[in-house]
Amino acid sequence: MNAAHNKVRKHYDEVADIYDSRYDRNRGRLYYSRLSENVLELLPRGRTLLDLGCGTGLFIQRYGRYGGSAVGLDISPGMIRRARSRCRMDRFAVGNAEILPFRNESFDAVSSLLAFSYLKEPESMVREAYRVLRPGGVIAVVTLGKNLFTSGLPALYAMGEAMNIRYVGMGDFGERYYSESEMNDLFSEAGFTDIRVRRCSFAHINLIEPLYEIARKIEPFVEERLPYLAYNLLASARKPG
């Protein structure tokens, strides 16, 4: 594991016990629910799912409500410990999404929410996802996209790290933000078909009040008419077969 991976792992081990206070309460729950619903619409229900960067198992818990089974992978042992406590019927493993420890054609679906930007070799993760998917399997990824708002986040996170702020995601991790064409190319080069990339979520959790409430009200309009202003990219594709 390289220095960048170690830094991400260490950070999420340190914030594992407060992670749910960010994404499973108040506005964080609303934000995460919107992203989850967008991904769930793209995945087959009641099948076998692999969730990469699974965190504390929030998305796996939601997927499990429709039946089926799931495996969660995360680089942080602390997050995996919390996930096992939340989803006792599912399986979890500590590992690197760029080198998956699973057999070929083991899953019907692969998901990843808010973890893709940490990858140093995203093409490796996409190729590995293709390998472990069964023919006809689906992948859906939510990650931060490039736009005016996200361009300032690296400086904000670096400042937070310098001030030793203990806050989920607050650190200088060299995150990468993607354009629609970059995500399309990653999936296409790995062999995926039926590739779709669109923007979602204008009401980002980090917006201050009253901007957050305003953003929530106009979010559907922005996603439909001004998608470039949305923070996240939702990319999905299918393995031929």
Mean pLDDT of 183-212: 92
| Residue 58: exposure state from Cβ atoms within 10 A (0-12, 13-18, ≥19) | buried
Residue 211, pLDDT score: 83
Q: What pTM does this model have?
A: 0.91
State pLDDT tens for residues 58-113: 999 999 999 989 999 999 999 999 999 999 999 999 999 999 999 999 999 999 99
In which band, very low, low, confident or very high, does the pLDDT at 236 lie, cut at 50, 70 and 90?
Answer: very high
- Look over the chain and give the mean of its residue pLDDT values, rounded to a whole number: 90
Mean pLDDT of 147-175: 63
CA–CA gap between residue 66 and residue 108 (Å, rounded): 14
Query: Comparing 199 with 11, which gets the higher pLDDT?
Result: 199
Q: Give the pair of three-digit tokens for residue 63.
A: 């997927």
In which band, very low, low, confident or very high, does the pLDDT at 164 lie, cut at 50, 70 and 90?
Answer: low
Q: Where are the domains of the chain?
A: 3-238
CA–CA gap between residue 48 and residue 222 (Å, rounded): 34
Q: Give the pair of three-digit tokens for residue 168.
A: 């989920």
State pLDDT tens for residues 120-154: 999 999 999 999 999 999 999 999 898 876 766 65
Question: If one looks up domain 3-238 in CATH, what number appears?
Answer: 3.40.50.150
